[in-house]
Structure 1
Amino acid sequence: MIEVGIVEDNVKIRNLIQRYLDMQENMSCKAAMDSVEEMQEHLSKHDPPDVLLMDIQLPGMSGIEGIGLIKKEYPEIEILMLTVYHDSHKIFDSLVAGASGYLLKHTSLPEIKESIENLIEGGAPMSPQIARKVIQHFNKPETEKKPESDLTAREQDIVNGLVDGLSYKMIADRFDISIDTVRAHIRNIYKKLHVNSKAEVIAKSLRGEI
């Protein structure tokens, strides 16, 4: 049985999806909330679901912010975005934050069910329009994808390590340097890129802005 949770502030959409998933023989949807904060409260008292359907525009914390917090506490939860937003920044920010898939809200109920099953089997379901944007991003000419950057070669190595999902210790081990040296490089990278978090560095790299 696949346990599914929903974070969606549109009551009609939330109830429709919840009822549909509960009707499936292989799925159960007990937790359907209208905010990240409510879902966090629920998760603190109940077993986490296998998959969480997450909207982006929510009351209180945004869905993208919520991804990072929920994945930090419950890394085993697969998060599938279900939103009206299809701009590149929100797509990549969601994926960088830890989402495993990205669907648009016009996705049919059977397709949502199929995407959840795909996710559980190790896939990364995306609406065709979203998949095309991802492909277009990675098909950019190299000159467009890699603009001039004032990062040093070592700082670029550190960025690549962050994109690969490495911890500071793992980056230090990869390049045979100390963790303090890694932290010093990270501070310089933040300053040069005018960012304040690791997620922003990764997002800039995935968007070809470094």
Structure 2
Amino acid sequence: MSQPITDTPAKPITVLVVEDDAVTRRALCLGIEKEPAFKLLDALDSVKSALNWLLHHPVDVLLVDLGLPDGSGIDIIRFCAQRYPACNIMVITTSSDQDSVVDSIEAGASGYVLKDAGQLDIGRSLLDLHTGGSPVSPTIARKLLSRMRADKKVNDALLEQVDSEAAGSQISLTKREATILDLIACGDSYGDVARQLALSVGTVQTHIKNIYEKLSVHSRGEAVYEANRRGLLQMDQLKSKR
């Protein structure tokens, strides 16, 4: 049996409960009413009634279920957070899936506890919430940590890809290499390139080798594809000169 909260604030902390299950709603109300620190303003059972109530009344603490008969408690959280930014919001629900947790937090909830969380001391949880804490059931905390680790892996992979592409975009071809690459992209043979640029075929092949190394490729087709992907080709300009 929980002990009453001893540090009673001078002004009662007002609470609104939104829970559709009558037995659970009554239990929550009893837990709140026995604590002198709180003043239960109302206990509602639907999204519509809660939104209408919040439209006309401010509240210090909102305790809300997610699965309501006419919609999601997340809509109530979002509306309350926007209308009364100082209100502290805690979810009490049976839903422990990551999406529900994250969506609730993003909507404005600062606490998230499960209805089956053993001997939940609702009074102390709400006081903790009101004084800046974030009551979270152990199961939910584990899911959040798992989600954060997964998101970090994804972000790290994306950053690695961006860094790789950024590094690749810094590849610089010499003017001669760029011209040779444009010519072979147009279908010219090494001999054709050599004649047009007054070079030996051996010199052209040396330039091609350097181009392959810079682009990390091993064939003409790969070189043209990779150069085009990186925006290194000037084929339109070359064709206009022919």
| Matching residue's letter, 2:78 | G
Q: TM-score, normalised by structure 1?
A: 0.65
Residue 136 of structure 1 pairs with residue 146 of structure 2: yes
Partner deviation per Cα, 1:87-127 (whole Å, 9 max, x = no partner): 11111011111111100012356522111111111111100
Partner deviation per Cα, 1:30-79 (whole Å, 9 max, x = no partner): 21000122122223333x22111111111223111221122111222111
Distance 1:15 1:87 in 2: 26
Q: TM-score, normalised by structure 2?
A: 0.57
* Higher CA-based Rg: 2
Report which structure shows greater RCO (CA 8 Å, sep ≥6): 1
**Contact kept? 1:67, 1:94, Cα under 8 Å:** yes
Structure 1 unaligned residues grouped into runs of 5+: 154-210
Q: What CA RMSD, in Å, does the superposition of the two structures yield over aligned residues?
A: 2.4
Number of equivalent positions: 151
Residue 8 of structure 1 pairs with residue 19 of structure 2: yes
2:230 aligned residue: none
Distance 1:72 1:136 in 2: 29
2:32 aligned residue: 21
Partner SS for 2:51 = helix
Identity of aligned residues (%): 34
**Contact kept? 1:20, 1:109, Cα under 8 Å:** no
Structure 2 unaligned residues grouped into runs of 5+: 1-11, 164-242
Partner deviation per Cα, 1:153-182 (whole Å, 9 max, x = no partner): 9xxxxxxxxxxxxxxxxxxxxxxxxxxxxx
Question: Within 5 A, what are the aligned runs for 1:99-178?
Answer: 99-107=109-117, 111-140=121-150, 142-148=152-158
Partner SS for 1:44 = helix
Q: Quote how far apart the aligned CAs of 1:142 are.
A: 4.1
Q: Which ranges of 4 or more aligned residues in structure 1 deviate by more than 4 Å?
A: 145-149
**Contact kept? 2:62, 2:90, Cα under 8 Å:** yes
1:77 aligned residue: 87
